[in-house]
Amino acid sequence: MRVLNKIILFFMTVFFLVVANCQKKDSGETPMIAGADIAIVQTEYGKVRGYIHNGTFVYKGVPYAKAERFMPPAKPDAWEGIRSSLFWGPTCPMMASHNMEPDEGKFLFQHDWGYPSEDCLRLNIWTPGINDSKNRPVMVWIHGGGYSFGSSQELPCYDGENLSKKGDIVLVSVNHRLNVLGFLDLSAFGEKYKFSSNVSMLDLVAALGWIRDNIANFGGDPNNVTIFGQSGGGGKVATLLSAPSAKGLFHKAIIESGWNPEYQRQEISRRIGRAVVQELGLQPSQINSIQKMPYAELAAATQRALKKIREQLTAEGNEPKGYSFGLIPTLDGNFLPYEQSDPRALSLSKDVPLIIGTTKNEFNTSAWVAPRMRNAPLDSVKSFIQKKYGDKADAYIEAVKQAFPKDTRPTDLIDVDIMFRRSAVNYANLKTSDSNAPVFMYLFTWQSPVFDGDYKAIHCMELPFVFNNIGLWEEITGGGEDAYALADKMSQAWINFACYGDPNHRGLPEWEPYTEENGATMFFDNKCIIRYHHDKELLKITASE
CA–CA separation, 209 vs 222, rounded Å?
A: 10
Chain-centroid distance of CA 384 in Å reads 32
From 154, 161, 279, 362, the catalytic residue? 362
From 111, 200, 459, 491, the catalytic residue? 459
Residue 362 annotated to the active site? yes
Taking the chain, what is the end-to-end CA distance rounded to the nearest angstrom? 73
Cα–Cα–Cα angle for 92, 313, 235, rounded to 5 degrees: 40
Partner residues linked to 42 by β-bridges? 47
Residue 435 annotated to the active site? no
Q: Is 443 helix (H, G, I), strand (E, B) or coil?
A: strand
From 173, 196, 231, 491, the catalytic residue? 231
Residue 459 annotated to the active site? yes
Could you write out the DSSP letters of every residue in 17-85?
Answer: HHHHHHHHHHHT--SEE--TTSSEEEETTEEEE-EEETTEEEEEEEE--B--TTSPPBPPPP-SSEEE-
Q: Is 221 helix (H, G, I), strand (E, B) or coil?
A: strand
- Which residues, in sequence order, are CB contacts of 508 under 8 Å at separation 6+? 489, 493, 522, 528
Residue ranges in 404-519 assigned as alpha helix (H): 412-415, 419-433, 463-466, 474-477, 481-500
Partner residues linked to 53 by β-bridges? 32, 56
Q: State the greatest distance between any 2 C-alpha atoms of the chain, in Å, as a whole number.
A: 94
Q: Is 188 helix (H, G, I), strand (E, B) or coil?
A: helix
Dihedral angle over CA of 105, 109, 110, 115, nearest 10: -100
CA neighbor of 365 nearest in space, from 385, 347, 351: 385
* Residue 492 · residue 507 · CB < 8 Å: yes
One-letter identity of residue 234: G
* Residue 76 · residue 64 · CB < 8 Å: yes
Across 143-235, the runs of DSSP E, i.e. the strands, are: 170-174, 220-230
Chain-centroid distance of CA 201 in Å reads 14
Q: Rg of the chain over CA atoms, in angstroms?
A: 25
Across 198-273, the runs of DSSP E, i.e. the strands, are: 220-230, 252-256, 264-265
* Residue 266 · residue 331 · CB < 8 Å: yes
Active site residues: 231, 362, 459
